[in-house]
């Protein structure tokens, strides 16, 4: 049942976003078959499945300013559909609670004022149960909207909203891990049963070489992509080689043993200052317990698996490691050029593992292993606009473009990325000191 606030409604106007790229084949097919509502509910129910085991306290606490409470993720993704679709497209729609526009707006200046991000954990009300009801209210209205055979620009917004929700599915998991890691009980989000360790040992490292080329980079044509993935453009590639797999925990242990965290010449100046200020001496979530390295995971505390990709390292750490090996990080152009030649498969969230998996050698010596899934891979490329990029008009134009400064690009997805969400052109981005994401690295070198 809808709730009606007696307070003043925040300014929530100017929400007229349109997408310039064509609707994806999957949504076109769903519209023709009458199954668009099923596609919508599938993504929404996947979010519910992730959060169903959380208590109201689990879902309310904010463990740091970079993280958001699970309850906020659940409500914000719902606010997106209510704000950008229902209130403008569904005749007679009544908002669940007008105050939610203020509480659950993230960063859309054109939509109106919003609750400060660092204080999202102070929202003890609404309760988690009320947020569930909010989601049900909006889902029912969205299904009614989808039954009206909406125009293509509306379908594009629905698709953007679903991909936005998948991003928050991943953020919900990363933020819950950070929250549980602050608890001295080290609770497990998933079954605490230890994962098997591959007795064959780490996959051997080899290199795949790439010739100089004028490569086409970025998204174009059918299928969904965020605006920052385009326009497609030509990029010059010099001869380079890419490591056959990500850097592994066993290799990171060697870096640590060789004084990697104590050698200033390996580090960028800002990275060295931050590493010392924050006392970095190992990847995030690692703990030395009686001489054995363990790591906090979504399955609770687990032994560090030597054969698995290193995870939860910042750009500064990744860059220092690459310098220690006398290699470098790939550019995002090099990464995408290599990834465009490989099948999009890997260890994603739908595997249920929720932890990086040791790479398994394939048939070819130059095969690139674990290119997708397991860990986001830092590149040396700053997150900036592609040639001819122009943000969309309206509030949705604030989605990616205004963050194009002070951040670095990561590629490939991780073990908590929803399956089917990433592609070779997908650009993730974070500030270089961030470690709570499932981020790792793959080495590159010049030829």
Separation of alpha carbons 333 and 349, rounded Å: 26
SS (H, E, C) the chain: CCCCCCCCCCCCCCCCCCCCCCCCHHHHHHHHHCCHHHHHHHHHHHHHHHHCCCCHHHHHCCCCCCCCCHHHHHHHHHHHHHHHHHHHHCCCCCCCCCCHHHHHCCCCCCCCCCCCHHHHHHCCCCCHHHHHHHHHHHHHHHHHHHCCCCCHHHHHHHHHHHHHHHHHHHHHHHHHHHHHHCCCCCCCCCCCCCCCCCCCCCCCCCEEEECCEEEEECCCCCCCCCHHHCCCEEEEECCEEEECCCCEHHHHHHHHHCCHHHCHHHCCHHHHHHHHHCCCCCCCCEEEECCEEEEEECCEEEECCCCCECCCCCHHHHHHHHHHCCCECCCHHHHHHHHCCCCCCEECHHHCCCCCCCCCCCCCCCCCCCCEECCEEEEEEECCCCCCCCCCCCHHHHCCHHHCCCCEEEECCCCCCCCCCCCCCCCEEECCCCCCCCEECCCEEEC
Say what the pLDDT of residue 39 is.
Answer: 87
Q: State pTM to two decimals.
A: 0.91
CB atoms inside a 10 Å sphere around CB 181: 20
pLDDT of residue 15 exceeding 70, the answer is: no
Say what the pLDDT of residue 3 is.
Answer: 36
Angle between the 269-277 and 315-324 helix axes, to the nearest 10 degrees?
A: 110
Q: What integer is the mean pLDDT of 205-209?
A: 95
β 240-243/207-210 pair status:
antiparallel
Give residue 149's pLDDT band: very low, low, confident or very high (50, 70, 90): confident
Give the model confidence (pLDDT) of 339-360 as tens digits: 998 999 999 999 999 999 999 8
pLDDT of residue 191 exceeding 60, the answer is: yes
Q: Environment class of residue 267 by beta-carbon count within 10 Å: exposed (0-12), middle (13-18) or buried (19+)?
A: buried
* Closest to 351 measured CA to CA, from 437, 441, 422, 418: 418
Give residue 364's pLDDT band: very low, low, confident or very high (50, 70, 90): low
Second CATH level (architecture) for the domain 207-446: Alpha-Beta Complex (3.90)
* Mean pLDDT comparison of 196-210, 382-396, 404-418, highest-scoring range: 404-418
Give the model confidence (pLDDT) of 20-73 as tens digits: 334 445 555 554 445 778 889 999 999 999 999 999 999 999 999 999 999 999
pLDDT of residue 294 exceeding 90, the answer is: yes
CB atoms inside a 10 Å sphere around CB 366: 12
């Amino acid at each position: 049942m809808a709730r009606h606030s007696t307070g003043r409604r925040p300014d929530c106007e100017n929400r007229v976003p349109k997408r310039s790229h064509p609707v994806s084949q999957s949504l076109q097919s769903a519209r023709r078959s009458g199954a668009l509502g099923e596609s919508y509910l599938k993504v929404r129910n996947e979010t519910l499945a992730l959060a169903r085991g959380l208590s109201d306290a689990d879902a309310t606490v904010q463990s740091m300013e970079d993280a958001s409470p699970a309850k906020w993720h659940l409500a914000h993704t719902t606010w997106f559909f209510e704000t950008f679709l229902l209130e403008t497209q569904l005749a007679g729609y009544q908002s669940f609670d007008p105050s939610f526009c203020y509480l659950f707006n993230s960063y859309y200046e054109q939509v109106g004022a919003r609750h400060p991000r660092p204080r999202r954990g102070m929202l003890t009300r609404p309760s988690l149960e009320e947020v569930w009801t909010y989601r049900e209210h909006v889902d029912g209205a969205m299904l009614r909207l989808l039954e009206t055979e909406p125009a293509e620009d509306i379908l594009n917004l629905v698709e953007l909203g679903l991909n936005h929700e998948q991003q928050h599915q991943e953020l919900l998991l990363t933020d819950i891990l950070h929250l549980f890691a602050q608890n001295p009980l080290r609770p497990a989000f998933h079954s605490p049963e230890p994962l098997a360790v591959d007795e064959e040992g780490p996959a051997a490292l080899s290199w795949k070489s790439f010739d100089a080329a004028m490569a086409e980079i970025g998204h174009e044509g059918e299928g969904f992509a965020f605006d920052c993935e385009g326009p497609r453009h030509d990029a010059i590639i010099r001869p380079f080689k890419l490591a056959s797999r990500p850097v592994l925990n066993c290799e990171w242990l060697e870096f640590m043993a060789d004084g990697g965290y104590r050698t200033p010449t390996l580090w960028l100046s800002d990275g060295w200052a931050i590493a010392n200020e924050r006392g970095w001496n190992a990847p995030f979530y690692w703990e030395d317990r009686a001489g054995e390295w363990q790591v906090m995971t979504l399955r609770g505390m687990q032994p560090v698996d030597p054969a698995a990709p290193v995870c939860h390292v910042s750009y500064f750490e990744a860059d220092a490691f690459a310098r220690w090996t006398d290699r470098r990080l790939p550019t995002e152009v090099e990464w995408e050029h290599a990834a465009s030649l490989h099948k999009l498969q890997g260890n994603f969230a739908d595997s249920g593992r929720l932890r990086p998996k040791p790479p398994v050698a394939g048939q070819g010596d130059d095969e690139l292993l674990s290119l997708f899934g397991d860990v986001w891979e830092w590149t040396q490329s700053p997150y900036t606009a592609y040639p001819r990029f122009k943000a969309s008009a309206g509030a949705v134009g604030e989605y990616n473009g205004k963050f194009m400064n002070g951040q670095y690009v990561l590629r490939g997805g991780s073990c908590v990325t929803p399956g089917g969400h990433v592609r070779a052109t997908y650009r993730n981005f974070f500030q270089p000191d961030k470690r709570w994401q499932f981020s790792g690295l793959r080495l590159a070198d010049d030829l």
